[in-house]
Structure 1
Amino acid sequence: MEKQIGSPERAIYHDKDRVIRPLNPWSETIHRLLDHLHTHGVAGCPRFIGVDGEQEVLSYIDGETYNYPLSGAIASHHALTSAASLLRQLHDASASFLSSNSEHQHQWMLPAQAPQEVICHGDFAPYNVALKGEVVSGVFDFDTAHPGPRVWDLAYAVYCWAPFKTDPMDALGTLSAQIERAKAFCDAYGASAAQCQMLVEMMIKRLAALVAFMQAEADAGNEQFKADIAQGHHLSYLADIDYLKQHQQIITLGLLTGK
């Protein structure tokens, strides 16, 4: 059994074809979601195997994993467009989750957003996918999943994959290159002109909600978020909000090209 990440009391382990993770208050809901996704044809996400004491057991998503700065296979066009296609598949399969599980109480880590069209992954970023070659073969870490509109999840995914980030460690390419990547992601997802029109504004709202969530968790005594705030992690999101506001018009025009 190999320790992967986390503090000793919240460690995550990879053991052959399984992942063992600490249970969270929302885990039961996520387990039902994963079962629903597999039932509706999504193979590229973990399977819920069972609960062992205070830990959940999930299937391991095989493939190469990456983080920022994006380079190599994760920065390729194929990775970008295959990620978008997988996000669309997740959204389409999750659209019936709430109605199919109406008899259950649902608990989520992040607050639900209206309209509740799909179950958003909540953190569909390059560090939460697995690649085989240059193709995204799966996505994991559904802790941040929550109901919301498609464009809410799409906006954060585009922000992460373009990426519209200002930190030198996270940034990739010029603004023009970022817009090209964002458009390629939206096209591969099948985003409508209306979704593209509101995408930048939704990115800004999503990042503002993330900063507010971080601050609220820190104020409530969450040690991880207290450390994140103390280290200024939220400041990069605020800088990215300013970047998006500054370039909102040109980004939107680029996304709408050909629509």
Structure 2
Amino acid sequence: MTAEGEALTGGMVNAGAVFRRGALVERPAPRNARALHAYLHALKEHGFDAAPTPVGLTGDGREQLTFIPGEVALPPFPDWAMTKAALASVGSLLRRLHEAGAAIEVDTRVEWPRDLADPEGGTVLCHNDVCPDNVVFRDGRAAALIDFDLAAPGRPLWDVAMTARYWVPMADPATAADLHPAGLDAPARLRVLADGYGLPPRDRAELPGVIEQATEVCRAFVARRVADGDSAYLQALAERGGWERWDRVQTWLADHRTTFTAALLN
């Protein structure tokens, strides 16, 4: 415990700047904090209790939120976080988020972040960053989502695609093995996620293509960070195979599109 509180690890955007003080978490506030806090309060009003509750904003540009107890899987991701039961529970939790969010009118006057947003837009506020670092587990099941900084309007299917990228994961075996346990069956796991979410047939047919679209958006996001000289992204790019890795992932996704579609629909 430091003078600022207990430092919380995980994620790249706010690395080293998130602290816990007892029942509160204090972190840098996003530019749209007031609108985001209003959304998080509205989620609670519509029955979704699996997100932090905003407490307030400080005078020095930070936000305070309730701390959610549990386990968060950090890379390299442990076996317990990559079980089929854990994966299905992530899908179920995401569905609950979208069902509650569908009843909340998104404020279109707000400048929601475009970093990982659905380029086609939408009427539901998507989380956009449901990676293992941002899911709190209890008893082996996904219990809550944290870090809504990149939330923006989009299609629920876009959020499923983004989540699949991180949790299946949707990457060639060599790339997946960098952070995930070896030998994960991507087509089977994509089906588990879709089943856990309750994805309808039409969306299942579209999901592989949307995952490819989401991967392009993620690559562009990384490219912008690298161009801006962000040291965390420069280091991660260098350590994980550079742009050749992204080329390999995107080629692998396109080559296996039919396999993924069959796994989702059959």
| Pairwise same-fold verdict (TM > 0.5) | yes
CA 1:26 to 1:218, structure 2 compared with 1: closer, same or farther past 3 Å?
A: farther
1:185 equivalent among 184, 193, 215: 193
Distance change >3 Å, CA 8–CA 34, structure 1 → 2: closer
Higher mean C-alpha deviation, range 207-216 or range 233-242: 233-242
Q: 1:105 aligns with which of 106, 110, 135?
A: 110
**Given residue 153 of structure 1, which amino acid in structure 2 is its aligned partner?**
D
From 236, 249, 253, the counterpart of 1:240: 249
The 5-angstrom pairing of residues 207-246 of structure 1 reads: 207-220=215-228, 222-229=230-237, 235-246=244-255
Change (3 A) 1:33 1:113: farther
Taking the aligned partners of 1:7 and 1:171, their CA distance within structure 2 comes to: 21
Q: Which amino acid aligns with 1:192?
A: P
Q: Deviation string for 1:150-181 (max 9, x for gaps)?
A: 11110111222111233222344546x22111
Structure 1 stretches lacking a partner, 5+ long: none
Could you say which residue in structure 2 is the equivalent of 1:202? 210
CA distance in 2, matches of 1:62, 1:92: 24
Relative distance call for 1:9 and 1:74 in structure 2 (3 A) is closer
Aligned residues: 254
Post-superposition CA distance 1:191-224 (Å, at most 9, x none): 1111111111111110111111222243345554
The structural deviation recorded for 1:13 is 0.2
1:233: Cα distance to partner?
A: 5.6
Candidates 127, 146, 167, aligned match of 2:152? 146
Distance 1:202 1:60, change over 3 A: same
C-alpha separation in 1, matches of 2:237 and 2:33: 26
What residue identity is the alignment partner of 1:129? V
Over the matched positions of the two proteins, sequence identity in percent amounts to 25
CA–CA separation in structure 2 for the residues paired with 1:234 and 1:93: 38
Structure 2 stretches lacking a partner, 5+ long: none
Q: Structure 1 residue aligned with 2:263, among 242, 245, 254?
A: 254
Kept in 1: contact 2:23–2:67 (CA 8 A): yes
Q: Please report the TM-score for the alignment, with normalisation by the length of structure 2.
A: 0.85
Conserved? CA contact 2:158–2:214, under 8 Å:
yes
Q: Using the TM superposition, name which of 215-224 and 23-32 deviates more.
A: 215-224
Map residues 3-22 of structure 1 onto 2, 5 A cutoff: 3-5=7-9, 11-22=17-28
CA RMSD of aligned residues (A): 2.5
Separation (CA, whole Å) in 1 of partners of 2:27 and 2:33: 10
Equivalents in 2 of 1:234, 1:4: separation in Å?
A: 30
Q: How far apart are residue 229 of structure 1 and its match?
A: 4.7
Q: 1:149 to 1:9 in 2, by over 3 A?
A: closer
TM-score (norm 1): 0.87
